[in-house]
Structure 1
């Protein structure tokens, strides 16, 4: 559950480009993605390792809201070719949890906690609604991360230990202070052509199906395209936080263009939550 301590350190995994932008200009809620686990907001974690992993993920998937580019008067090419977009980094903040708890929030237990079974269905419904782009009225939300894919029964499932805290307006953001940027070294990506388990194989299969839908590829070409991508890109459980459709866009376009808005517009058509 959410800590009862007064002050805690929380982390936001991103790129050096975005970290500098946040430190210099503050956090723009309106520029965050709409269709996320708890809705449009600024997401942090109490886990430094989780944030570091997400930093490497973001450096490999250089997507940014076109709204931010407009605010910065940058072209898509300016952003994609900026050297700081390739550098993984995370922000460390101090969060005043006592002040945060005085706001209107929604707190879900984590899957390893005793109250999870009583709250699991409510969490699923909340994530389904948020992923459809339907807004809620909470200042903040805390709970487990959606694993991003469906299990064998067709239900969404929560990551066992990954948690997230989301801030949805300026009242909540005022509980964050002292942002500090920590740059990370480049990471060597290992060949992941051999998948570890059935869940990963099933997820790759879903990516292939979505890749065929958003492109003109046939089945053999789509899976060859994915295999080529995995030669130089690691694929771990972290990646399951995003949908198969997200990875179809990522693998198809990679860093050649910004496609995140197009992806979100396609969600209703391609996935059934």
Structure 2
């Protein structure tokens, strides 16, 4: 799986394409709130989707921040032992879940006081609409328990900004 980001978010690590980051960790409090599945660390099975997201983040940055792709060799069987929610396709339940997370952050369950799911998987929403991007998916981790099971990533690439600009998430496909 892949994570698209920008170099400055990981500058504390020695980044070199093809090398792993042995000391890698995720601080969930620094993850962006009010996303499709709430505050969490997001991955995708699509390298192209991760590259496009990295470019979007790079273009939104105020500095000359370079797009970055991290690759994780994820064993889904490990995560199936956690508390997870999997949306196979968009549905009324999926749309309601995304709407709730986008409005209230990581409020996954019936009560706001319930712990969030460790992992949520599903399609990529074209929020605020009720459609999804074709061929795009997301795998989000929301608890330290889930983060602790992640393997150390390999730096797939630190990309040049010469890739054709993408101005908004609506241009993902």
> Which TM bucket (shorter chain)?
0.7 to 0.9
Match of 2:102 among 127, 131, 142: 131
Greater mean deviation of Cα atoms: 100-109 or 166-175? 166-175
Give me the whole-angstrom Cα distance separating, in 2, the residues matched to 1:172 and 1:179.
15
Q: CA deviation at 1:162?
A: 0.8
Match of 2:148 among 162, 174, 178: 174
Bigger proportion of residues as helix:
1
Describe the shift of the 1:130–1:149 C-alpha distance in structure 2 as closer, same or farther (beyond 3 A).
closer
Match of 1:72 in 2: none
Match of 2:170 in 1: 240
Match of 2:9 among 10, 14, 18: 18
Which segments of 5 or more consecutive residues in structure 2 lack a partner in the other structure?
A: 14-20, 109-115
Give me the whole-angstrom Cα distance separating, in 2, the residues matched to 1:88 and 1:183.
6
Give me the whole-angstrom Cα distance separating, in 2, the residues matched to 1:48 and 1:87.
17
Q: CA deviation at 1:241?
A: 8.2
Contact persistence 1:32–1:42 (CA under 8 A): yes
Describe the shift of the 1:42–1:54 C-alpha distance in structure 2 as closer, same or farther (beyond 3 A).
same
Contact persistence 1:148–1:240 (CA under 8 A): no
RMSD value over aligned CA atoms? 2.2
Give me the whole-angstrom Cα distance separating, in 1, the residues matched to 2:11 and 2:120.
25
Q: What number of residue pairs does the alignment pair up? A: 155
Give me the whole-angstrom Cα distance separating, in 2, the residues matched to 1:47 and 1:240.
17
TM-score by length of 2: 0.80
Q: CA deviation at 1:25?
A: 5.3
Match of 1:110 in 2: 89
Describe the shift of the 1:141–1:30 C-alpha distance in structure 2 as closer, same or farther (beyond 3 A).
same
Cα deviation per residue 1:95-142 (whole Å; 9 max; x = unaligned)?
A: 12111000000000135xxxxxxxx01101100110012422200000
Greater mean deviation of Cα atoms: 98-107 or 171-180? 171-180
TM-score by length of 1: 0.52
Contact persistence 2:55–2:166 (CA under 8 A): no
Give the number of the structure whose alpha-carbon radius of gyration is greater. Answer: 1
Q: Give 4+ residue runs of structure 1 displaced > 3 Å after superposition.
A: 19-25
Q: How does 1:153-192 map to 2 (within 5 A)?
A: 156-181=130-155, 182-189=157-164
Match of 1:87 in 2: 66
Which segments of 5 or more consecutive residues in structure 1 lack a partner in the other structure?
A: 1-9, 63-79, 112-119, 151-155, 190-232, 243-273
Q: CA deviation at 1:148?
A: 2.9
Q: How does 1:1-273 map to 2 (within 5 A)?
A: 10-21=1-12, 23=21, 26-62=25-61, 80-81=62-63, 83=64, 86-110=65-89, 120-134=91-105, 135-136=107-108, 137-150=116-129, 156-181=130-155, 182-189=157-164, 234-235=166-167, 239-240=169-170
Q: CA deviation at 1:183?
A: 1.0
